[in-house]
Amino acid sequence: MKFVAYSLAAFLAASSAFAASKAAPAVPACSYKIGDQATFIKPADYLSVAKANQQKLGAEKGEFETTKDYNNRVAAAQKSLAIKPVLLEHPADYDKPDSGVTYIADEQHFRFFVGAFIGMLTGFDYRYMDKVVLQQTQKSMDSYVASNAYGNQKSVERSVWDLIAIKSWKTFPKSIYWKLPKKDNEEGYSVYIPVPLEQAKTFRIGLKAGIEFLPKPPYFSTDTDRVHPKMDWPIDITYNVEQFDGVVLCAVIADKDGKVVKTVQPLIQ
């Protein structure tokens, strides 16, 4: 079972065909480039918008509704919504030592780990993005004793989380990854932002990052993911997910003034 990592980006630009259909319309490229001004929307603030868009689509196809009539109804609703790309913030404090943002003085650049602009959670592979986690809130934590068929017992740590994420739209059977450079002696899961030494100490203050995506029907959905415990991994996690359905276009990193300093593109394989 593939869970997602972070929440960050994907479906390429207009040059890539959407999922498997050659007839599908081209997907727009990332709206931002370095130097642009970015305005982020907090994930929790966008929930009401996504839910309203879902409701405007109307009910699912009815028993006495032809496919043609249903498609026409949905198309009319989509047209009235005039959906455009949305930039959602991944709330984080990048000035903390464990934020995943590190300055390399000898090379005068910041190394920005992929897990710094999308949520990193147990059970989610951050290299792959079926779900891009934007925000996570722990709702409860406790423990219980479990035993296997041989009578061996183990204390299991159990937690429940509420997540807000982007669900990548119609990607199967392909997988979507972040397009990240690979450097010597590094895993290749970071991007790099050149910053002069004299600006480096204050660069992280007010730094923002997030994901731009193009909403797609049904615009909003819910899901539950589960990490099951094992004897050698006594962790039991339930993720209750509120998710925005859509095409992930890119990750965007901006300074305290909202000026874009880096974008990260998706890679479809």
User: For every one of its 269 residues, what pLDDT tens digit does the chain have, with 9 covering 90 and above?
Assistant: 434 333 333 333 333 333 333 444 455 689 999 999 999 999 999 999 999 999 998 888 889 999 999 999 989 998 999 899 999 999 888 888 888 899 999 999 999 988 888 877 887 776 667 788 999 999 999 999 999 888 889 999 999 999 999 998 766 666 777 887 776 566 568 889 999 999 999 999 999 999 999 999 999 999 999 999 999 999 999 999 999 999 999 999 999 999 999 999 887 76
What is the model's pLDDT at position 68?
95
Exposure class string for 144-175: b at 16+ Cβ within 10 A, else e:
eebeeeeeeeeebebbebebbbbbbbebeeeb
Domain assignment of residue 93, yes or no: yes
Cis peptide preceding 218, ω within 30 of 0 = yes
pTM of the entire predicted model: 0.81
What is the model's pLDDT at position 225?
93
Domain assignment of residue 7, yes or no: no
User: What is the rounded distance in angstroms from the CA atom of residue 260 to the CA atom of residue 38?
Assistant: 6
What is the model's pLDDT at position 109?
95
Asked if 30 contacts 250 with a C-beta cutoff of 8 angstroms, the reply is: yes
The total number of structural domains in the chain stands at 1
Domain assignment of residue 50, yes or no: yes
What is the span of the domain harbouring residue 252? 43-58+69-268
User: What is the rounded distance in angstroms from the CA atom of residue 98 to the CA atom of residue 101?
Assistant: 8
Instruction: Give the strands of the sheet with 109-113, arranged side by side.
Output: 101-104, 109-113, 190-194
What is the model's pLDDT at position 28?
66
Asked if 216 contacts 247 with a C-beta cutoff of 8 angstroms, the reply is: yes
**131, 207, 117: which is closest to 163 by C-alpha?**
131
Domain assignment of residue 6, yes or no: no
What is the model's pLDDT at position 114?
84
User: What is the rounded distance in angstroms from the CA atom of residue 198 to the CA atom of residue 200?
Assistant: 6
**229, 218, 177, 200: which is closest to 54 by C-alpha?**
218
Domain assignment of residue 15, yes or no: no
Cis peptide preceding 173, ω within 30 of 0 = yes
Residue 11, burial from CB neighbour count under 10 angstroms (0-12, 13-18, 19+): buried
What is the model's pLDDT at position 127?
67
Domain assignment of residue 216, yes or no: yes
Domain assignment of residue 4, yes or no: no
The two tokens of residue 183 are 């450097």
